[in-house]
Structure 1
C-alpha cells in the first residue's frame, strides 16, 4: 500500500523510475537496473536506467530479451546470460526480467542484473514480479501524463513547440538569464509552393524546415511553430553574435537540404539585462527584421537590435 501511494504521488516518469530504482536496489542489492519500453519492433531504454544497458553489448542483450518478452509475455530468469548468448563480454551474468503489462497490453519490461552467476533466488524472482506488477500502472500513468503534456505544448505537424510555450519560456529566461536571442523565420514564397506542388508538399516542407532547425540548435534552445509558415527559435543565454550565426546557418542549411528546394528569411532580435526590455518588443523587432529581409530580396538574415520601429 505504501509503495502504491508513493508511486501514485510521483508527478513525472523520471520521478517514478528513480523511486522504483531505489526500491529495487534496496530489495535485491542489484548492480544494474533498466526500464525498457516496447513499441512495435522497436525498444526505448528510459532515462534513469543504468548506463550499462546503453552500451553496445548492453543493447545487444536488451534486444535479445525484448524478442523473448514479445513472444512469451512472461517473467524471465537467467542464471548466466553470458552462456545463453555465448558472449563473455557481457558485464553481468544473472538477470531477472519482468514484463510491464497493462490492460493486457505489453508496455515494456524491467530488467535487473548482477555480475555473479546464479545470484537471484526464486523467492527474489517472485518478489521482483510482485513489485513490477504493482508498479506498472504508475509507470504507464506517468507516461500518459507526460504524453498529454507534450501534446499540449507541441505543434502536431512540425513537432516543434507551440507558440504559447515559447512565450512562457522567454518570459522565464528574461527573469533568470543575462541575455538571449530570438529568431523569426519565414518560408519564402510559401503560397507559390502550395499552389505549385499542393498543400501536402507544403506540409512536408514545413516538416523539413522544422527538422533542420532541430539539427542546428542546442538542446536548451527552443524551436517553435509561430503560425502558418512562420517558425521561431529562442536561444537563452546566447549573444547576438551567436544568434546571428545560427540564423545564417539555418538560411544556408534550408537552401541546401530541402526538396523541393526553398529559401527562408530571418529577422533576429536580442535582449540583455543592461537595458529594459519586454517580450513583445523582442517579438516586434524580429518581425521588423523579417519584413526588411523580405523587402531586400528574401533568403537572408536581418538583425533588428534597436527599439525603433523601423
Structure 2
C-alpha cells in the first residue's frame, strides 16, 4: 500500500528524484488541485509547477473531460485501488506534443497512465498520484505493424495492375456469394468480359500499351459497378463481375454501358491513340445451379457466343426449359 506524501516535509532529495525521473508525476487532492508537478510534466506541458500548485487541474487542461476523469478516479478513493489507462483505450490524458516532433510520425505523445491512492496515517485517501508514461514509440510501432498487416492483406487480395480483386480472392468471395444467393433466393447476375482482339493490341503497340488498355478498362468497370458488386481480374484481359441483387434486365444495362464506354475510350501510348472494344456474357443466378462454377461457366459460354457473333456486344445465357 502506498503511503501519503506531505509536501512540507518532503526532503530536497525527493524533489530532485521526482524531477530527474523520465516519467510524469502529478499529485492531486480530492478537489483535483495540483500539489506536485514534476519537471517531466513541466517540460512537456510548458507549464511551470509554480503556476499550477493549488489550482484545479481542469483550469489548465481543457482537453481533460472532468466528468470522465472524476468517474475514472472514483475507485482510487472508494476502493483504494489503482486505475490504469492504456493508450489503446485513450491515446493520452494530457495533450502533449510528440517528444520527437521532427523525427516522429505522431502529432501528440501517446501515454500510458497509472493513478493510485496515497493513503495517510489515518488510513483515509486524501490525495492520489498520476504517473504518465511516454509510450509514443511503442504505440507507433504497434500501429505501424497493424497498418503494415492491413496493407499486406489488401495486397494479397488486389491485382497489382488494375486495383480490382485478383482471381484467387475473387473466387473465394464468389463462392460465398453463390451460397448466399442459394439461401436468399434473390436475383444476382454473373458477367464475364474481355477485350476483343487483345493479342493484336499487344503485337501492334507492345505489352506496356496492352497493360495500359487493361488498366483503363478496369477503371471504367469500377465506375460502372456498385461497391456491393464483386469485380475482379480473372486472368489476362478477362474480367469477372457478380452484380449482386441485380436482375438480368438491370445487368444488361450495366453490360451495355460498359460496352459503349469502352468503345469510346481512347488510350494514349507513345504518341499513338489506341481504341478497342469488349465482349460480354451474362448469366442470371438460378436455384437449379449445381455449383458456383456452373454459374460462371454459363456466363463464359455467353461471352463465347458474343465473340462468335461478331464481338463488341453482350450475350445472355439462355435458360433451358425442361
User: Smaller-chain TM-score range?
Assistant: 0.5 to 0.7
**d(CA) in 2 for partners of 1:212, 1:147:** 24
Pick from 248, 252, 275: which aligns with 1:261? 275
Match of 1:149 in 2: 153
Q: Please report how far the alpha carbon of residue 240 of structure 1 lies from its aligned counterpart in structure 2 after TM superposition.
A: 1.5
Tell me how large the CA RMSD over aligned residues is. Answer: 3.1
1:235 counterpart = 2:249 = no
Q: Which runs of 4+ in 1 moved over 6 A?
A: none
1:303 counterpart = 2:316 = yes
1:180 counterpart = 2:193 = no
Q: Can you list the C-alpha shifts for 1:147-196, whole angstroms capped at 9, x where unaligned?
A: 11111111111111011211211221122243321111110111111111
Pick from 284, 289, 296: which aligns with 1:270? 284
Match of 1:34 in 2: none
1:294 counterpart = 2:302 = no
TM-score, scaled relative to structure 1: 0.58
By percentage of residues, which structure has more helix? Answer: 1
**d(CA) in 1 for partners of 2:137, 2:320:** 59
Q: Please report how far the alpha carbon of residue 28 of structure 1 lies from its aligned counterpart in structure 2 after TM superposition.
A: 3.7
**d(CA) in 2 for partners of 1:240, 1:280:** 18
- Secondary structure at the aligned position of 2:134 is classed as helix
Q: Please report how far the alpha carbon of residue 295 of structure 1 lies from its aligned counterpart in structure 2 after TM superposition.
A: 1.0
| Distance change in 2, residues 1:138/1:296 (3 Å) | same
Aligned positions, number: 202
Q: Please report how far the alpha carbon of residue 289 of structure 1 lies from its aligned counterpart in structure 2 after TM superposition.
A: 0.7
Give 5+ residue unaligned stretches, structure 1.
Answer: 1-26, 31-76, 78-94, 113-125
Give 5+ residue unaligned stretches, structure 2.
Answer: 1-62, 67-93, 111-130, 268-273
Whichever of the two has the greater Rg, that structure is 2
**d(CA) in 2 for partners of 1:189, 1:138:** 49
**d(CA) in 1 for partners of 2:168, 2:134:** 43
| Distance change in 2, residues 1:280/1:110 (3 Å) | farther
| Distance change in 2, residues 1:136/1:277 (3 Å) | same
Q: Please report how far the alpha carbon of residue 261 of structure 1 lies from its aligned counterpart in structure 2 after TM superposition.
A: 1.3
Q: Please report how far the alpha carbon of residue 304 of structure 1 lies from its aligned counterpart in structure 2 after TM superposition.
A: 0.7
Q: Please report how far the alpha carbon of residue 98 of structure 1 lies from its aligned counterpart in structure 2 after TM superposition.
A: 4.5
